Structure 1
Amino acid sequence: MRPERGFALVAALFVMVVIAAVVATMSRLSVTQNTSLDLAVQQARAYQAARAGLEWGLHQLLLESNVAGVCPQGSVSMAGSGLADFSVNLACIKLPCTTATCAQSYTEGSRTFNLYRLTATAGNGSPDSRVDYAWRRLEVTVEK
């Protein structure tokens, strides 16, 4: 009797199929990890853009020359920075009185303080047009 032949071929094909499946799975995981990393980087950049917008707004509001307390509003340019692909919008309101016990302003000694709320939103396009879309909204309340 002759020994059976062809077992090595079947074993080699099985090993090749298993290795191909492992390579395909690792490739898919790599793509997912890269996409997640890109999105995390864009989210961090959106946070920094919104924070820069808030800092610019606070600077404008708290300038000593801004005696009237004019609220800074509108778009903040990120041109010339690493955040140039983000659009940043700043909104500022003088806080109104919402209860009978609160006030728009208060006095300490001879100085009167007003309360302001600044809100900065930063985004890099729209979710329909970008896979790595990121958007952040930061808000701060300050007295002047």
Structure 2
Amino acid sequence: MKPLNQTHAKPTPVKYCAPQRGFSIVAAIFLLVVLSGLGAAMVRFSTIQHTSAAMDEQGMRAYQAARAGIEWGLHLSLNDTATSACFPEVSFNPPAPQLNEFRTTVTCQSVQYAGANPQIIVRRITSFACNRPTGGATGTCNGPAVGGQDYVRRDLQAVFQMSPR
């Protein structure tokens, strides 16, 4: 018997694809961009935090300068109880070295109630402290705010009643 003619199909050769190149560089660039964005955001956040802390400290110093003005105004008023007149507006730099960049302006208003027996005098001492006074370094702080990114101002008032001796 004769063998059958079997046709054997040739197997197709397997083609190996060349490995893909460039995917790792895309992933690396993406990761680099994301990390750079996070780094920039952290730097911005840190800058804002430092600026905020510095302004908070300046605000506390301005408060202390205004408080020094109130104490000075109270001292003048309480040592001069013989008259109902107030002292004139005064501006000065507080003597403490930590407050030397602030200008303090102190004003006094006096209201006399003549119908009362004994006579009653009500005084209002107002102290303004700022780090950029209107009119330059020797100016006053009770005018319009100069403004600006690092401008700090604090206003304090003390109201008290006194009767002449």
User: Given the alignment, which residue of 79, 85, 90 partners 2:101?
Assistant: 85
| Matched residue, 1:17 | 33
Residue 68 of structure 1 and its aligned partner are, at CA, apart by 2.6
Given candidates 117, 130, 149, the residue that maps to 1:131 is 149
Q: Distance in 2 between matches of 1:4 and 1:82?
A: 66
SS in 2 for 1:95: strand
> How much identity, in percent, do the aligned residues show?
34
Where has structure 1 moved over 6 Å in runs of 4 or more? none
1:47 to 59, 63, 77: 63
- The alignment's TM-score, normalised by the length of structure 2, stands at 0.70
In the alignment, structure 1 segments of 5+ residues that lack a partner are: 97-102
Q: Following the alignment from structure 1 to structure 2, what is the Cα–Cα distance between the partners of residues 56 and 105?
A: 30
Deviation at 1:52?
A: 1.0
* Contact 2:108/2:126 (8 A) holds in 1: yes
Which consecutive unaligned segments of at least 5 residues does structure 2 have?
1-16, 134-144
- The within-5 A match list for 1:1-144 is 1-63=17-79, 66-72=81-87, 73-95=89-111, 103=113, 106-107=116-117, 112-125=119-132, 131-144=149-162
2: CA distance, partners of 1:104 / 1:77:
37
Q: TM-score, normalised by structure 1?
A: 0.80
Provide the rounded CA distance (Å) in 2 between the counterparts of 1:87 and 1:104.
Answer: 36
Q: How far off its partner does 1:79 sit?
A: 2.9
- 2:138 maps to none
Q: Deviation string for 1:9-60 (max 9, x for gaps)?
A: 1111111000000001111111122222222221221111111100111011
Note the C-alpha offset of 1:92: 0.3
Q: Aligned-pair RMSD on alpha carbons?
A: 2.3
Greater RCO (CA < 8 Å, at least 6 residues apart): 1
Secondary structure at 1:18 match in 2: helix
Between the aligned partners of 2:100 and 2:156, the Cα distance in structure 1 is: 18
Q: What secondary structure, in the 3-state scheme, does the structure 1 residue paired with 2:24 have? A: helix
Q: Which amino acid aligns with 2:92?
A: V
| 2-structure distance, mates of 1:78, 1:55 | 11
Q: Secondary structure at the match of 2:41?
A: helix
Higher share of residues assigned strand:
1
Q: Which amino acid aligns with 1:93?
A: Q
8 Å Cα contact 1:119-1:140 kept in structure 2:
yes
